[in-house]
């Protein structure tokens, strides 16, 4: 059987064993209606891989090139997060250690202070009251250990993951942008800084600031502050992330500030510079230099729970534990955060294969998908985020992954991570359609690529897994409009009388950890600490003990606080 898309005949094929051919007359009219949507657009030479399968009956409702591997863009995050939940587990936590490599004599560390990271992407103000709050907590612990001076260097040990910092398949035109931040076992502020350029004195260079202030970037400012009616132009440039940032052009006196966000060059350098600044503010003096290492003997240790275990010399003097992986998986899929995806990707490789490399991670993910029942024939994954155009995944791969995850114990966490249609800050599209609040799907967009894969309930309550991928589309907006139309039609689909599934799955329950662990709370406007304590059945004193930097009479809306677990530590 052959279908036509934009006047081009395309073979209809579904080789995946998970789905079966359409169930005859009941599915064919619906498939034809979806085909009409495709044919209403002109696609030129675009390639499609599309598949819609009922999770409840396993029959195929629609397919075009379902087994054709294409570049999936950010849809590949569905594979990364599915494998992460299986390999690492929803409660996996990234850990960061600070170690003293030398004797401590009367508050003086006679040696280096080593920071050893395992890839935590959450050391920022995303989960904490300030960008440097984690650094402040580590400084608290150093003070309790009695350390006020370090005679050696501050060593940023990023050896837990192997290079490169940026995948060679990423578009070089994007490497300065916030969504292509460098991948490192030590990351801070999601490895980006914001430049703020203010007018200086006339005929003098503008004033350049970065936020955070200790960026470890080399800045060459050749711009000039000028007067006059002509509208001057200012440029913030960098040809390569490892080269200096150039401030060029002219900025008019009295004009508004110019802002630009940019990735840092080497995340380990950025981490060290920012941590050192916090220590200095707290009166902890580092007499030596900052050093970032990509290889060390610490990286060869078999245990990641205590890196100094069994090794003479360094011992842990401060320790930070991240939010659970399930929180991070939501950031990956709902916000399509590339850095979170890449660091989880490398953590998969390290945990499963003993190497924090992209090759190790891809091997582990492929094996895990195969073990849960996905036919991985033709699947090629080279990064965790989908930024690389070298990834190759078919619609069948995505539909099988979603279908198999829906039948396993990790489905609540996986489902909770997917963006909801018609929901602001998630998947705002398909608003005021039957898909709104019903369909959940991951978007994907890079140059020439658009994708949408997820699950939706039909009007009968039948679960439909779907994937739509196009490469070489002449219009991204056209592809998105088609995705919206298909999603809305799937939500409106109803089986003819006599063909409805005999059993429809119940509504997916929320993640089990949401009820088992109430271990953090984001403060809302007007709340008091006593009200929060009462709501969770704990005391104000217990909350304050767990959050030493929180003041009972000065809590801030938007601030996260840790909560003690009932009946346990």
DSSP 257-275: PEEEEEE-S-HHHHHHHHH
- In this structure, the answer to whether residues 285 and 299 fall within a common structural domain is yes
What is the mean pLDDT of the segment spanning 171-188?
94
Q: Are strands 207-211 and 219-221 parallel, antiparallel or unpaired?
A: unpaired
Whether residue 223 contacts residue 205, with contact meaning beta carbons closer than 8 Å, is answered with yes
* pLDDT at 116 > cutoff 70: yes
The pLDDT tens digits of the residues spanning 472-492 come to: 999 999 999 999 999 999 999
Q: Are residues 60 and 135 in the same domain?
A: no
Query: Which contiguous run of DSSP H or E holds residue 545?
Result: helix 540-546
What angle do helix axes 358-371 and 338-353 make, rounded to 10 degrees? 80
- Give me the pLDDT at residue 506, please: 55
Distance of alpha carbon 365 from alpha carbon 394, whole angstroms: 16
In a domain, 483, yes or no: yes
Indicate whether 567 belongs to any domain.
no
Which token pair is 13? 């094929």
CATH number assigned to the domain comprising residue 548 = 3.10.350.10
Tell me the pLDDT band of 56, cut-offs 50, 70 and 90.
Answer: very high
* Residue 522, beta-bridge partner list: 560
Quick: pLDDT tens for 325-359.
Answer: 999 999 999 999 999 999 999 999 999 999 999 99
Residue 497 lies in a domain: no
Specify whether 370 is located in the same domain as 393.
yes
Position 25 scores a pLDDT of: 54
pLDDT for residue 228: 82
pLDDT-based confidence at residue 140 (cuts at 50, 70, 90): very high
**Closest to 180 in 3D by CA, of 323, 325, 271, 74:** 74
Q: Report whether pLDDT(17) > 60.
A: no
- Examine the pLDDT at 3 and tell me if it is beyond 90: no
The pLDDT value given to residue 520: 74
* 541 is a domain residue: yes
Same domain, 224 and 160: yes
The pLDDT score that the predictor gives to residue 134 is 97
The sign one gets for the Cα dihedral 341, 343, 346, 348 is: negative
Q: Is a pLDDT exceeding 80 seen at residue 312?
A: no
Q: In this structure, is residue 14 part of a structural domain? A: yes
- Asked if the model's pLDDT at residue 136 lies above 50, the reply is yes
Give the list of residues 6+ apart from residue 534 with CB closer than 8 angstroms, or none.
none
Which pairs count as long-range contacts for 548-556, CB under 8 Å and 24+ apart, including other chains? 548/137, 548/140, 549/129, 549/133, 549/136, 549/137, 549/140, 550/129, 555/523, 555/527, 555/528, 555/529, 556/129, 556/523
* 440-446/449-457 β-pairing: antiparallel
Interatomic CA distance for residues 133 and 332, integer angstroms: 22
Query: Is it the case that residue 135 has pLDDT exceeding 60?
Result: yes
- The pLDDT > 70 percentage for the chain reads 87
Checking if the pLDDT of 110 tops 90, the result is: yes
In a domain, 508, yes or no: no
pLDDT band at 314 (very low <50, low <70, confident <90, very high): confident
Residues 293 and 195 in one domain: yes
Judge if 352 and 465 occupy the same domain: yes
Integer Cα distance of 305 and 96 in angstroms: 10
Q: How many structural domains is the chain composed of?
A: 3
Contact 203, 225 (CB under 8 A): yes
Instruction: Estimate the share of the chain in helix, then strand, then coil, as percent rounded to the nearest 5.
Output: 30, 25, 45
Query: At residue 423, what are phi and psi to the nearest 5 degrees?
Result: -115, 125
* Local confidence band at 511 (pLDDT 50, 70, 90 cut-offs): low
Same domain, 68 and 98: no
pLDDT at 420: 96
Statement: residue 37 has pLDDT above 80: yes
For residue 12, the model assigns a pLDDT of 42
What's the rounded mean pLDDT across residues 2-6? 47
In sequence order, the 6+-apart residues with CB closer than 8 A to the CB of 569 are none
For residue 382, what pLDDT is reported?
97
Q: How far apart are CA 67 and CA 19, in angstroms?
A: 12
The reply to whether 34 and 22 lie within a common domain is: yes
* Greater model confidence, 370 or 554: 370
Give the pLDDT confidence score for residue 541 in this predicted structure.
86
- CATH at residue 263: 3.50.80.20
> What is the signed CA dihedral for 263, 265, 270, 271, rounded to 10 degrees?
90
In the prediction, which pLDDT does 18 show?
63
Supply the CATH number for residue 378's domain: 3.40.710.10
Share of the chain above pLDDT 90, in %: 73
In a domain, 504, yes or no: no
Enumerate the β-bridge partners of residue 62: 52
pLDDT digits (tens, 9 = 90+) for 257-281: 999 999 999 999 999 999 999 999 9
Which of 80-84, 143-147, 181-185, 495-499 bottoms out in mean pLDDT, i.e. has the lowest?
Answer: 495-499
Q: Are residues 150 and 265 in the same domain?
A: yes
Question: What is the SS3 assignment for 219?
Answer: strand
Mean pLDDT of 533-557: 80
352 with 301, same domain?
no
428 and 324 assigned to the same domain: no
Which helix (H) or strand (E) is 465 found in, with range?
Answer: strand 463-471
The predicted model gives 53-68 an average pLDDT of 94
Which pLDDT does position 569 carry in this prediction?
A: 38
| Alpha-carbon span 500 to 441, nearest angstrom | 24
Can you give the residue range of the structural domain that contains 532? 518-562
Q: Are strands 93-105 and 560-562 parallel, antiparallel or unpaired?
A: unpaired
Q: What is the mean pLDDT of residues 152-173?
A: 93
| 434-464 pLDDT per residue, tens | 999 999 999 999 999 999 999 999 999 999 9
pLDDT range class, residue 527, cuts 50, 70, 90: confident
Confidence of residue 566 (pLDDT cuts 50, 70, 90): low
211 and 227 belong to one structural domain: yes
């Amino acid at each position: 059987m052959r279908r036509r898309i934009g006047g081009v005949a395309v073979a209809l094929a579904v080789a995946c064993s998970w789905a079966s051919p359409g169930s005859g007359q009941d599915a064919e009219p619906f498939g034809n209606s979806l085909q009409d949507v495709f044919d209403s657009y002109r696609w030129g030479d675009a390639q499609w891989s599309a598949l819609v399968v009922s999770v409840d009956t396993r029959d195929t409702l629609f397919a075009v090139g379902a087994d054709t591997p294409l570049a999936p863009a950010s849809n590949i995050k569905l594979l990364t997060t599915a494998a992460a939940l299986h390999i690492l587990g929803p409660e996996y936590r990234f850990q960061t250690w600070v170690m003293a490599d030398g004797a401590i004599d009367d508050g003086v560390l006679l040696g280096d202070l080593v920071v050893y990271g395992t890839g935590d992407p959450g050391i920022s103000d995303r989960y904490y009251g300030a960008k440097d709050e984690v650094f402040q907590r580590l400084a608290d612990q150093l003070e309790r250990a009695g350390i006020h001076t370090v005679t050696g260097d501050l060593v940023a040990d990023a050896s837990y993951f192997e290079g490169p910092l940026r995948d060679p398949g990423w578009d070089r035109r994007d490497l300065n942008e916030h969504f292509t931040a460098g991948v490192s076992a030590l990351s801070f502020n999601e490895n980006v800084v914001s430049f703020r350029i203010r007018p200086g004195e006339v005929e003098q260079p503008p004033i350049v600031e970065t936020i955070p202030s200790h960026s470890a970037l080399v800045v060459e400012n050749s711009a000039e502050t000028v007067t006059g009616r002509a509208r001057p132009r200012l440029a913030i440039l960098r040809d390569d992330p490892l080269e200096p940032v150039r401030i060029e052009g002219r900025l008019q006196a009295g004009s508004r500030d110019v802002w630009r966000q940019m990735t840092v060059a080497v995340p380990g350098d950025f981490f060290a510079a920012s941590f050192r600044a916090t220590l200095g503010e707290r009166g902890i003096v580092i007499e030596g230099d900052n050093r970032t290492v990509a290889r060390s003997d610490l990286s060869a240790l078999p245990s990641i729970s205590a890196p100094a275990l069994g090794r003479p010399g360094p011992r842990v003097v401060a320790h930070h534990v991240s939010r659970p992986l399930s929180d991070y998986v939501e950031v990956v899929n709902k916000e399509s955060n590339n850095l979170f995806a890449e660091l989880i990707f490398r953590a998969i490789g390290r945990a499963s294969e003993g190497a924090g490399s992209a090759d190790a991670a891809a091997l582990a993910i492929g094996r895990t998908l195969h073990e849960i029942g996905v036919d991985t024939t033709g699947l090629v994954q080279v990064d965790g985020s989908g930024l690389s155009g070298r990834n190759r995944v078919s619609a069948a791969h995505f539909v099988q992954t979603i279908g198999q995850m829906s039948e396993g114990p990790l489905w609540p966490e996986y489902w909770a991570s997917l963006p909801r249609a018609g929901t602001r800050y998630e998947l705002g599209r398909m608003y005021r359609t039957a898909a709104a609040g019903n369909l959940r799907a991951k978007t994907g967009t890079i140059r020439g690529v658009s994708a949408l894969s997820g699950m939706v309930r039909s009007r009968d309550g039948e679960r439909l897994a779907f994937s739509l991928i196009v490469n070489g589309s002449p219009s991204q907006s056209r592809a998105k409009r088609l995705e919206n139309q298909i999603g809305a039609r799937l939500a409106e689909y109803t089986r003819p009388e006599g063909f409805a599934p005999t059993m429809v799955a119940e509504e997916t329950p929320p993640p089990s950890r949401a009820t088992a662990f109430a271990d953090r709370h984001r403060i809302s406007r007007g709340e008091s600490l006593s009200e929060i304590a009462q709501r969770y059945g704990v005391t104000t004193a217990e909350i304050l003990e767990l959050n030493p930097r929180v003041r009972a009479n000065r809590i801030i809306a938007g601030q996260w606080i840790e909560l003690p677990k009932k009946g346990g530590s």
